[in-house]
Amino acid sequence: MKNKITTLILVIMCSLASMAQVGIGTTSPNTTAALDVESTTKGFLPPRMTTVQRNAIASPADGLTIFNTTENCLQWYNGTGWYDGCDGDGNLRGGGFTNGFEDNTTCATKVISVTSCASVTGATINDDATTTDGTEYDWNNATSYMGGTNTEALVEIGGQCWFGRNTTAAPTAPCADAINTGCNVWAASASSPGDIGSWGYYNTSSNTAWATSENAAGEGLLYQWSAAMNGSTTERAQGVCPTDWHVPSDCEWMYLENTLGMSTADQQGTGLRNSGSVGSKLSNLTSSFTNSSGFTALLAGNRITNGTFGSRSSVGNWWSSSWASHTHAQWRDLLSSQAGVRRNSSFKAFGFSVRCLKD
Residue 215 lies in a domain: yes
How many structural domains is the chain composed of? 3
pTM beyond 0.75, yes or no: yes
- The pairing of strands 111-112 and 35-37 is unpaired
Partner residues linked to 329 by β-bridges: 323, 346
d(CA 34, CA 18): 10
- For residues 143 and 262, membership in a common domain is answered with no
Residue 21 lies in a domain: no
Residues whose CB is less than 8 angstroms from the CB of residue 18 and which lie 6 or more positions away in sequence, other chains included: none
Average pLDDT, the chain: 91
Residue 17 lies in a domain: no
- For residues 352 and 268, membership in a common domain is answered with yes
Residue 325 lies in a domain: yes
pLDDT tens digits for range 251-274:
999 999 999 999 999 999 999 999
- For residues 208 and 339, membership in a common domain is answered with yes
How large is the average pLDDT for residues 338-346? 98
Residue 101 lies in a domain: yes
Task: Check: CB of residue 115 under 8 Å from CB of residue 93.
Answer: no
Q: How confident is the model at residue 32 (pLDDT cuts 50, 70, 90)?
A: confident
* Window from 85-89, 162-166, 308-312 with minimum mean pLDDT: 85-89
- For residues 129 and 87, membership in a common domain is answered with no
Assign 137 to helix, strand or coil. Answer: strand
- For residues 210 and 245, membership in a common domain is answered with yes
- For residues 154 and 84, membership in a common domain is answered with no
Q: Identify the domain containing residue 139 by its residue range.
A: 120-163
